[in-house]
Amino acid sequence: MEKTSGLPGWAAVLAVVAHPDDESFGLGAVLSTFAGAGALVDVLCLTRGEASTLHGVEGDLSLVREIELRAAADALGVRRVTLLGHPDGGVATVRPTVLDGDVERALEQTRPDGLVVFDSTGISGHPDHVAATAAAVRAGDRHGLPVLAWALPDEICATLASEGYAGFLGRRGGEIDLALTVDRTAQQAAVDCHPSQAVPGSVLWRRLELQGDTEHLRWLRRP
């Protein structure tokens, strides 16, 4: 594993995620670091997050989450967000050719030098995350683009599990390629834009505490 304070020198980056808040809760520090280095960062989000298990949110949750996502994107320095309407919780049931078409259209718009995604495990094993990442990797294969994935080390997942937050899927040290030093200021601002999801007592806060100022990344397609 290479410890680094820098990311690839991409001029344009496309993040492919499943849900409104993945760009902040998961990829936020990575995307803001790219943006801070001058890269044009775009986000393709495959669902509107309407199947959130949280309750007590007034109004149309899919609209609420769109508003939250666009505010969070501004906080992260994202140039453009494309929000699609695939079923939240059902992305894995969508034909791969349909998802491939979605990613192709985003690539035509953004012309990225590389893609950023969740780890192929989905981090939590969520099928929507897994399907979103798989679609990005297929696009990388078609176009010869590198795909960089956010991962969690086994040690953090083990600590979370011991504290009652089971379900995270980590990576051994040898499977992690980069340990990136980050400033989480922009990510925190983006997280704050998601009040319907970033609720008190959420595992999000403990995970970010354990991650500290380090993000762990692995190549799903190398440059």
DSSP 206: H
Superfamily (CATH) of domain 12-107+124-154+167-221: LmbE-like (3.40.50.10320)
- Give pLDDT, residue 60: 81
- Phi/psi for 21 (5° steps) reads 130, -20
DSSP string across 53-95: S-----S-HHHHHHHHHHHHHHHHT-SEEEEEEEPTT-GGGS-
- Give pLDDT, residue 3: 57
Q: What is the pTM of this model?
A: 0.94
Cα–Cα dist 32/10, whole Å: 13
> Does residue 7 sit in helix, strand or coil?
coil
pLDDT tens, per residue, the chain with 223 residues: 655 557 999 999 999 999 999 999 999 999 999 999 999 999 999 999 988 766 555 568 888 899 999 999 999 999 999 999 999 999 999 999 999 999 999 999 999 999 999 999 999 999 999 999 999 999 999 999 999 999 999 999 999 999 999 999 999 999 999 999 999 999 999 999 999 899 888 999 999 999 999 999 999 999 9
Cα–Cα dist 103/45, whole Å: 10
Record the tokens describing residue 167, joined without a space: 């379900």
> 101-129 in b/e burial notation, b at 16+ Cβ within 10 A?
ebbeebbeebebbbbbbbbbbbbbebebb
SS (H, E, C) 121-159: CCCCCCHHHHHHHHHHHHHHHHHCCCEEEEECEHHHHHH
Radius of gyration for the chain, computed over Cα atoms and rounded to the nearest angstrom: 16
Record the tokens describing residue 78, joined without a space: 């994202």
- Give pLDDT, residue 57: 58
- Give pLDDT, residue 61: 82
Cα–Cα dist 187/173, whole Å: 25
- Give pLDDT, residue 56: 54
Please report, for the chain, the start and end positions of each structural domain, with discontinuous segments joined by +: 12-107+124-154+167-221
